[in-house]
């Protein structure tokens, strides 16, 4: 955030109470709006308008801390677009950027207001789902996967199909992993989805009668 703007706000003299024509008041409001826009830019990915990697790390840490206090689970989804390099190579980076913007729009349409969608980097996205169980998170991931699969984009006279692979895991009270370890765990399930043929959701085992099943894909 630009400290010069903040200092400008502090240096502007306040207006007399009730003076609606005060020029200083207008200046303060203008500068406050600039600071707000700068703060939003710091945490937002320019292309997709989703949160960026920096904000993701902060948000995930806060939600995991909330889980430790409240016991309500935090679910994390990492998704990666399948064969995205081929899209860039064949159709060009302009079409690749169009695909990324399209996927971000689909994510926004699917999430709840409390969810935290981020562009993790390249063609990879993360979604932090507060107060969400593993079953709910896997259901959400499959719904988004199908939406992506059934929403091709128009490229000239042709329609370009898009697919994505997903990794899903949940952080619950009593879990002892760090933020980095949690991300690596989810990334491992994403890697599994890629290895098993792409365009699928792989996730940590569901628990049944206190026992863990084998790693699962759907």
Report residue 82: phi and psi, to 5°.
-75, 135
Identified catalytic residue from 3, 27, 94, 123 = 123
Report residue 39: phi and psi, to 5°.
-65, -40
Cβ neighbours of residue 81 under 8 Å, at least 6 residues apart?
Answer: 87, 99, 100, 103, 123, 124, 162, 163, 164
Name which of 218, 135, 129 is nearest 182 in CA terms: 129
DSSP 88-126: HHHH-HHHHHHHHHHHHHHHHHHS-TT-EEEEEETTEEE
Q: Which helix (H) or strand (E) segment is 36 a member of?
A: helix 23-42
Report residue 168: phi and psi, to 5°.
-140, 135
Rounded to 10°, the helix 84-91/93-110 angle is 140
Instruction: Record the tokens describing residue 176, joined without a space.
Output: 């002892």
Note if 65 is an active site residue.
no
Point out the residues that are catalytic. 123
């Amino acid at each position: 955030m630009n400290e010069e703007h903040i200092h400008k706000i502090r240096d502007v003299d306040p207006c007399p109470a009730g003076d609606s024509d005060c020029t200083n008041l207008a200046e303060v409001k203008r500068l406050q709006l600039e600071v707000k826009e700068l703060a939003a830019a710091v945490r937002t990915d320019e292309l997709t308008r989703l949160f960026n990697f920096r904000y993701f790390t902060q948000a995930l840490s806060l939600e995991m801390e909330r889980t430790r206090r409240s016991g309500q689970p935090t679910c994390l989804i990492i998704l990666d677009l399948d064969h995205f390099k081929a899209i860039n190579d064949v159709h060009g980076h302009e079409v690749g950027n169009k695909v990324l913007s399209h996927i971000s729009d689909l994510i926004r349409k699917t999430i709840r207001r409390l969810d935290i969608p981020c562009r993790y980097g390249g063609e990879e996205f993360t979604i932090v789902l507060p107060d969400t169980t593993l079953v709910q998170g896997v259901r959400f991931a499959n719904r988004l996967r199908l939406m992506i699969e059934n929403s091709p984009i128009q490229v000239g006279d042709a329609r370009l199909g898009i697919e994505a692979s997903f990794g899903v895991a949940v952080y619950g009270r009593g879990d002892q992993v760090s933020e980095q370890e949690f991300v690596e765990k989810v990334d491992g399930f994403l890697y599994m989805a890629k290895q098993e043929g792409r365009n699928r959701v792989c996730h940590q085992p569901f628990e049944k009668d206190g026992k863990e099943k084998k790693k699962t894909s759907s």
